[in-house]
């Protein structure tokens, strides 16, 4: 994977996923390996994303690399009207790797074509966020000891949630059964259902999760955002139907784990946090190991 940018989860094959997960497991055992000694990484955040940026910067620091960059477009020359192309062309002279987040979709692909160094996409609008998907895969495998044949519940906003779309594509390599639970307005888009049909992967759609929750191996929660609803009354009616609280977990499988890309608002009650089935904070920690693995692979070190 030498000098190969990671822009979209579909840039990587199943073998690539497995290789990244294996390298990430090595970093989990031994997080401080100074492989980036003397290297400089740019973190270009054209829109703020504290969690993702800190996770990347933690990964680079643990690898002994140095970081330059900006955390929102206001502190860059974008405010002076500089094009993305010029920003990337300039930065590419200074660094060995670019990590970027941009509000426009396709920005990372374009940057990877303009840059002379590899680009890792840390989110381009509603399109892709591949490092999130890889850390989700890592978390699933770590908690279930396998990726194959799992019942994966996706709950909440399945229409606009890019994390569920990318996870769906990636998990499709491992014969899952999907359970999509969402309000009618936020159902899984048809293009993804067609994709699953093509790959002979089973999926079911529900409006409520309680009747079926005992079937879940993984519950992947997402935020139902008010601004996604055309009708505010509809939002008020549905918002509480997609909240997970501790008492709901009584009849769930012992291996079941709850994942969430974070930030959480109110879709997982605080009383769930102490339940051993809550995995979202450890999931975020796994993000550092997975990003160490991705950075060193992209640079051809692993």
Instruction: Kindly list the catalytic residues.
Output: 51-52, 80, 101, 129
In the stretch 78-117, what mask flags binding to other proteins with x, by CB under 8 A?
A: -----xxx----------------xxxxxx-xx-------
> For residues 91 and 181, which CB has a smaller minimum distance to other proteins in the complex?
91
> For residues 53 and 109, which CB has a smaller minimum distance to other proteins in the complex?
109
Taking the C-alpha atoms of residue 131 and residue 288, their distance in angstroms, rounded to an integer, is 10
Helix axes 162-171, 190-198, angle to 10 degrees: 0
Backbone angles phi, psi at 217, to 5 degrees: -95, -40
Q: Provide the 8-state DSSP code for 11.
A: G
> For residues 78 and 95, which CB has a smaller minimum distance to other proteins in the complex?
78
The reply on whether position 77 binds other proteins by CB under 8 A is no
Give the chain's length. 302
Backbone angles phi, psi at 95, to 5 degrees: -135, 170
> For residues 1 and 108, which CB has a smaller minimum distance to other proteins in the complex?
108
Token couple for 270? 């605080």
With contact defined as beta carbons under 8 Å apart, do 171 and 136 qualify? no
- Least distance between other proteins and beta carbon 211 (Å): 34
- Least distance between other proteins and beta carbon 10 (Å): 8
- Least distance between other proteins and beta carbon 5 (Å): 13
Helix (H/G/I), strand (E/B), else coil: 153: strand
Q: How many residues bind other proteins (CB under 8 A)?
A: 18
> For residues 191 and 250, which CB has a smaller minimum distance to other proteins in the complex?
191
Which residues make Cβ contacts (< 8 Å) with residue 83, sequence separation at least 6?
A: none
Residue of 302, 299, 291 whose CA lies nearest to 3:
299
With contact defined as beta carbons under 8 Å apart, do 246 and 275 qualify? yes
Residue of 64, 77, 81, 80 whose CA lies nearest to 27:
64
- Least distance between other proteins and beta carbon 75 (Å): 20
Residue of 293, 131, 292, 135 whose CA lies nearest to 220:
135
Residue of 215, 234, 214 whose CA lies nearest to 224:
234
Token couple for 203? 């999926």
Q: Which helix (H) or strand (E) holds 28?
A: helix 14-29
> For residues 7 and 272, which CB has a smaller minimum distance to other proteins in the complex?
7
Q: Restricting to residues 115-154, which ones interact with other proteins according to CB under 8 A?
A: 124-128
Question: Is the peptide bond prior to 263 cis by the omega test (within 30 degrees of 0)?
Answer: yes
- Of 15, 191, 227, 274, which lies in the binding site for other proteins, with binding defined by CB under 8 A? 191
- Least distance between other proteins and beta carbon 166 (Å): 11
- Least distance between other proteins and beta carbon 8 (Å): 7
Binding site for other proteins (CB under 8 A): 8, 83-85, 102-107, 109-110, 124-128, 191
């Amino acid at each position: 994977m030498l000098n190969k940018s990671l822009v979209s989860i579909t840039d990587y094959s199943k073998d690539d996923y497995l290789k990244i997960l294996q390298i990430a497991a090595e970093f989990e055992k031994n997080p401080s390996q100074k492989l980036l000694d003397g290297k400089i990484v740019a973190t270009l955040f054209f829109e703020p994303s504290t969690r993702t940026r800190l996770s990347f910067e933690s990964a680079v620091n643990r690898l002994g690399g140095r970081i330059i960059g900006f955390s929102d477009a206001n502190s860059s020359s974008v405010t002076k009207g500089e094009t993305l192309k010029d920003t990337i062309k300039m930065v590419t002279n200074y660094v060995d790797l670019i990590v970027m987040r941009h509000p426009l979709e396709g920005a990372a692909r374009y940057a990877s074509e303009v840059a002379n160094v590899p680009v890792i996409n840390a989110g381009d609008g509603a399109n892709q966020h591949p490092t999130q998907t890889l850390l989700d895969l890592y978390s699933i495998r770590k908690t279930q000891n396998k990726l194959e044949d799992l019942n994966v519940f996706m709950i909440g906003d399945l229409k606009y949630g890019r994390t569920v779309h990318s996870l769906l594509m990636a998990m499709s390599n491992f014969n899952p059964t999907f359970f999509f639970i969402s309000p009618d307005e936020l159902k899984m888009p048809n293009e993804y259902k067609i994709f699953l049909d093509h790959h002979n992967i089973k999926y079911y759609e529900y409006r409520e999760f309680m009747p079926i929750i005992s079937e879940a191996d993984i519950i992947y929660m997402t935020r139902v955002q008010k601004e996604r609803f055309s009708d505010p009354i509809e939002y008020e009616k549905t918002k509480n139907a997609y909240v997970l609280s501790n008492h709901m977990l009584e009849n769930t499988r012992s291996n079941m784990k709850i994942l969430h890309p974070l930030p959480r608002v109110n879709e997982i009650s605080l009383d769930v946090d102490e339940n051993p089935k809550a995995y979202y904070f450890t999931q975020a920690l796994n993000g550092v190991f997975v990003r160490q693995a991705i950075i060193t692979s992209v640079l051809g070190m692993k």
